[in-house]
């Protein structure tokens, strides 16, 4: 009987949302006065909704195996939140508001923060289903037609209900079914007092505190393979060579800087840091990696192989761009692994774009059972078309966090039906990449003569380089890195200061800044990331005992000043 090996890879990532310190002389020479204030709340919100739910779905269906990819910078922030809950000192303003005993006495700034933030969620699936929460929104909309002084009519009782409902709406569906406190508070509907908020806060703390051990337990029992990404999610092919962008887009515009200074050593450092931090948290180094954004190049893949990675995955568009004209027409090219002769010991897998995007973008509009049955039917069609001696390997790879708020009940019924159908299917086996490679007879690989640099987005690197704002961001980073190299070479910083500089530099190298630059993103999101990126660069200069250049006060993106990012102040945006 022919069988199909199905690998789910759920990618968990959020960039570093912390404001690590002040700009200018206040941080010069002392290693930094890092406040660690969280500018955006998406780490803990996705933790209590999505990272918890994704673990619970697997715990209910122990026959299902999958790969889960945790980016180290996300785990750093989860551990930061664990420490906040343990100490009771919250550096996330929303949690601080939830913990505030008397919301009648909060400042105007905090009132504005709650009004600007606590309706930022999917209106259809996370607000409209709850009449009491919807009523709070209706009152807000009513006052929004007046001048700002009208918000003064809102009492502490309103803000208590608002911040409570926002957190209730961000709880995972599995937790609502498991935790009597959540059910009780949601049934209560209104009139939440300080004790209600205190109990909800403690419940959130328990969830987040148990999250990393929960995933480690799933891995230790062999159901889940935990993989990683270089430490702060950098676009490694571009750190190595800006010209990698032209392998898929020959006319791509490049930054003025010829190259990122010392990019090779930085990529190696990012890989090594990820493998070390993963081993510390989960007891073993990861067998494989999902490169940030699935972005690969031949040079980068060779570094991954040298570091001991046994597998990586990327987008199907990269594979298509890398194949010869005759092979490109093969619709089944992604259904078996590949290898590069220049990267011995490393196996490459490529995501099925159509099936992955059905889950990410389409199935949310379907009834859960219908979507699950449709996906299984697609897999059966792939299997039926296989040769008698062929065992297709199908990779479904997507975010494990952002899609589910578009699903009713956070995707609970979709996963329950899908995992249930797959667990009972006689011809489809859910596997991990490590399991496939550990078989006595691993899947046969095909040599890929050449790997064209690209990512899971269009098979190119255009999302992170090529337009004026993105290239401007790279030039600012290159200039800061040159200053970094000069100061470190001078030997005037001690070991503690050097470690602080290298940590801050890694944050500045994250791909997320460049993703958000450009005119094709919401202006408030662009402003937030523009501002935080420039603050991070300014802090890097401060740690180097240098005055940050005045150009860091000017938004990178033309619309950022109008959207509120010109003075590098705190802003909010909807989650990624």
pLDDT in tens, 212-237: 999 999 999 999 999 999 999 999 99
Alpha-carbon Rg of the chain, whole angstroms?
24
Q: Please check whether residue 8 is in contact with residue 67, taking contact to mean a CB–CB distance below 8 angstroms.
A: yes
User: What is the average pLDDT value for the chain, to the nearest integer?
Assistant: 93
Residue 426 has pLDDT above 90, yes or no: yes
- Rounded to the nearest angstrom, the gap between the alpha carbon of residue 337 and the centroid of all alpha carbons in its chain is 25
What value does the mean pLDDT take over residues 106-122? 95
Residue scoring higher pLDDT (467 or 35): 467
- Tally of CB atoms within 10 A around 124: 12
Rounded Cα gap, residues 198 and 523, in angstroms: 35
Pairing status of strand 224-227 against strand 66-70: parallel
What value does the mean pLDDT take over residues 177-203? 98
What value does the mean pLDDT take over residues 161-185? 98
What value does the mean pLDDT take over residues 62-66? 98
Q: Please check whether residue 277 is in contact with residue 231, taking contact to mean a CB–CB distance below 8 angstroms.
A: yes
What value does the mean pLDDT take over residues 391-404? 97
* Residues 6 or more apart in contact with residue 366 via CB below 8 angstroms: 374
* Residues 6 or more apart in contact with residue 576 via CB below 8 angstroms: 14, 42, 402
Q: What is the pLDDT of residue 563?
A: 41
pLDDT in tens, 307-320: 999 999 999 999 99
* 426 class by beta-carbon count within 10 Å (0-12 exposed, 13-18 middle, 19+ buried): exposed
What value does the mean pLDDT take over residues 494-522? 94
Rounded Cα gap, residues 409 and 405, in angstroms: 8
Residue 27 has pLDDT above 60, yes or no: no
Rounded Cα gap, residues 359 and 419, in angstroms: 13
pLDDT in tens, 381-391: 999 999 999 99
CA dihedral 57, 62, 66, 71 (to 10 degrees): 60
Would you list the domain boundaries of the chain? 468-563
């Amino acid at each position: 009987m022919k069988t199909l090996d199905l690998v789910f890879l759920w990618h968990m990532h959020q960039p570093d949302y912390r404001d690590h310190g002040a700009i200018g002389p206040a941080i010069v020479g002392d290693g930094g006065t890092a406040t660690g204030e969280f500018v955006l709340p998406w780490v803990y919100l996705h933790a209590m909704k999505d990272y918890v739910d994704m673990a619970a779905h697997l715990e209910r269906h122990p026959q299902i195996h999958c790969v889960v990819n945790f980016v180290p910078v996300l785990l750093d922030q989860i551990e930061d939140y664990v420490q906040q809950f343990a100490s009771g000192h919250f550096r996330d303003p929303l949690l601080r508001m939830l913990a505030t005993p008397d919301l009648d006495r909060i400042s105007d700034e905090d009132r504005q923060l709650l009004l600007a933030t606590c309706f930022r969620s999917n209106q259809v699936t996370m607000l409209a289903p709850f009449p009491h929460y919807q009523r709070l929104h209706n009152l807000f909309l009513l006052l929004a037609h007046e001048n700002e002084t009208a918000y003064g009519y809102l009492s502490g009782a309103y803000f208590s209900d608002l911040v409570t409902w926002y957190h209730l709406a961000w709880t995972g569906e599995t937790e609502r079914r498991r935790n009597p406190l959540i059910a009780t508070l949601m049934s209560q509907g209104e009139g939440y007092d300080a004790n209600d908020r205190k109990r909800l806060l403690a419940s959130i703390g328990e969830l987040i505190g148990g999250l990393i051990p929960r995933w480690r337990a799933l891995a230790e029992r062999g159901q889940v393979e935990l993989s990683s990404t270089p430490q702060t999610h950098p676009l490694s092919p571009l750190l190595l060579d800006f010209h990698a962008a032209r392998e898929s887009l020959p006319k791509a515009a490049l930054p003025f800087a010829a190259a990122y200074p010392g990019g090779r050593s930085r990529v190696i450092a990012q890989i090594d840091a990820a493998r070390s931090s993963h081993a510390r948290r989960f007891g073993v180094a990861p067998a494989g990696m999902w490169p940030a954004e699935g972005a690969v190049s031949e040079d980068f893949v060779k570094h991954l192989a040298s570091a001991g990675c046994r597998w990586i995955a990327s987008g199907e568009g990269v594979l298509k761009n890398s194949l010869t004209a005759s092979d490109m027409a093969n619709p089944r090219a992604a259904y078996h692994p590949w290898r590069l002769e220049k990267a011995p010991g490393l196996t490459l897998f490529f995501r099925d774009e159509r099936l992955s995007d059905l889950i990410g973008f389409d199935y949310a509009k379907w009834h859960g059972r219908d979507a699950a049955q449709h996906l299984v039917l697609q897999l059966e069609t792939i299997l039926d078309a296989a040769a008698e001696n062929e065992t297709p390997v199908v990779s479904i790879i997507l975010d494990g966090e952002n899609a589910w708020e578009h699903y009713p009940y956070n995707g609970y019924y979709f996963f329950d039906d899908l995992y249930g159908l797959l667990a009972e299917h006689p011809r489809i086996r859910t596997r991990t990449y490590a399991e496939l490679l550990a078989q006595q007879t691993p899947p046969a690989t095909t040599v890929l003569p050449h790997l064209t640099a690209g990512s899971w987005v269009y098979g190119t690197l255009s999302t992170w380089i090529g337009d004026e704002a993105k290239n401007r961001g790279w030039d600012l980073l290159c200039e800061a890195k040159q200053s970094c190299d000069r100061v470190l070479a001078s030997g005037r910083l001690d070991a503690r200061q050097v470690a602080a500089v290298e940590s801050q530099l890694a944050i500045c190298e994250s791909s997320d800044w460049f993703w958000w630059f450009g005119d094709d993103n919401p202006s408030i999101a662009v402003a937030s990331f523009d501002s935080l990126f420039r603050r991070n660069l300014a802090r890097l200069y401060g740690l180097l005992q240098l005055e940050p250049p005045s150009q860091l006060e000017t938004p990178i993106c033309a619309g950022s000043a109008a959207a509120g990012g010109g003075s590098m102040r705190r802003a909010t945006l909807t989650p990624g």
